[in-house]
Amino acid sequence: MHAEIVVLPGDGIGPEVTAAAVEVLRTVGRRYGHAFALREHPIGGAAIDATGEPLPEATLAACRKADAVLLGAVGGPKWSDPKAKVRPEQGLLALRKGLGLYANLRPVKPHAATLGASPIKPHLLAGVDLLVVRELTGGIYFGQKQRGADSASDLCEYSVAEIERVVRRACALARGRRGHVVSVDKANVLETSRLWREVAARVARDEFPDVTLEHQLVDSMAMHLIAKPRAFDVIVTENMFGDILTDEASMLAGSLGLLPSASLGEGKIGLYEPIHGSAPDIAGRGIANPVGTILSAALLLRHSLGLSDEADCIEQSVAAVLERGVLSADLAPGGRGASTAEVTAAVLAQLELPCQVAELRD
C-alpha cells in the first residue's frame, strides 16, 4: 500500500512524540511492505511564529490531500494569553472543521503493568475496555459568544443531523465490540440534551436494533465512570461533556501519556493524536511518554488505511513493552523511568519480532 500521511508536530513535546510514532510507522511500512510518505507541516504556536496563523492554508491543503494526519500537540505559555486574537488551539479547531471531522474516538483499556499508576483502586480497573465517542463540531464550543460589561453568554446549539451521525458512528462501533452504548446528556435541564436523547433513541431503535442503548445524565455518569468502569462499552456524548469525561477516563489508564485518539468524518481521512497536551514543562528533556502517540498511529492504520493487522501489531508491541516494565517517567515509581528514546527503541525492537496477527498473513 502507498499512503500519504501528514505529520503535524506542533508545540512542546509534540515534535518528540510524533518523531517516535513516525519511526514506528516507518518500521511497520518496511516490515510489511507499505510505502508511507510522511511529510511535516506546521500547526499551532509553531505555525503562528512562522506564518502568523495557527493553521496555515498550505497545512490545511496538505491535510485535505492526505490519507491521514498525525498530530502531536498544540499550545504553550508563549501563546497562552486567552485574550489573544490568534491562539494555537484555533488551529486544531479549524483543522477539525476543515476536514469535516465530527467524531472523536478515545479508547481506554488499562494495561495490567500500569494499574498502580492510576489513583483508582486496581481491582476496579481490571478488565476495563471502553470507548468514548465525543461529538466534535457542535455544542457550546462553536455557538455564538457574547460579552458585555456585566455578563457573558455562550450559545449551545445542536442540529438533528449532527446528533444522528455521531450516534450512528457510536452504534456501528459497538456492533464490533460488546453491543452496548451509553448516551450521556443533561436532559433534565437542557433543551439540547432533550433533543439529543430523542434522536439517539430513534437512531438506535430504527437502525441498530441489535445494539442496546442506555441513557445517563452527565453528572451521574461522572460518578459511575470511576465507581464501575467495567460496566461500560461505548459512551457517546456531546462536545463539552465529552471533553470533560474523556479527561476523567484517562485517569483509569494511569496517565494521559498512554491514551490515543482518532477524529473521524464520513470519509477515510482522520486526525490522530494523543490526548495529552503540549506539556511545555518537560519539553526538550527527552522524558515524554510516546505511547499515546504510537497508539494513535495504530488507530491511523486501522481507521484510515484499513491495515488492522498492522495496527494490532503495534498495540501488541506496546503491551509487551509495558509488560516488561519499560515505563516512562509519568508511570515509573519516583518518576525515574525510561526516556522517550528508550521506550521508542523498545517498541521498535518488539515490532521486529513475530506478530501473532500479521505473521499469519505473510
Residues acting as catalytic residues: 141, 186, 219, 243, 247
Listed in sequence order, the DSSP H helices in 126-190 are 160-175
Q: Which is it for strands 68-73 and 2-10: parallel, antiparallel or unpaired?
A: parallel
CA dist 185 and 242 (Å) reads 10
Burial of 149 (0-12, 13-18, 19+ CB in 10 A): exposed
Residue 212 · residue 201 · CB < 8 Å? no
User: Which phi and psi (to 5°) does residue 134 adopt?
Assistant: -105, 130
**What is the distance between the alpha carbons of residues 157 and 124, in angstroms, rounded to a whole number?**
36
Sign of CA dihedral 44, 87, 166, 293: positive
Contact at 8 Å (CB) between 180 and 214? Answer: yes
Closest CA to 287 of 320, 335, 349, 348: 335
CA atoms 123, 124, 130, 133: torsion sign: negative
**Among candidates 232, 255, 305, which has minimal Cα distance to 4?**
305
Residue at 159: amino acid letter: S
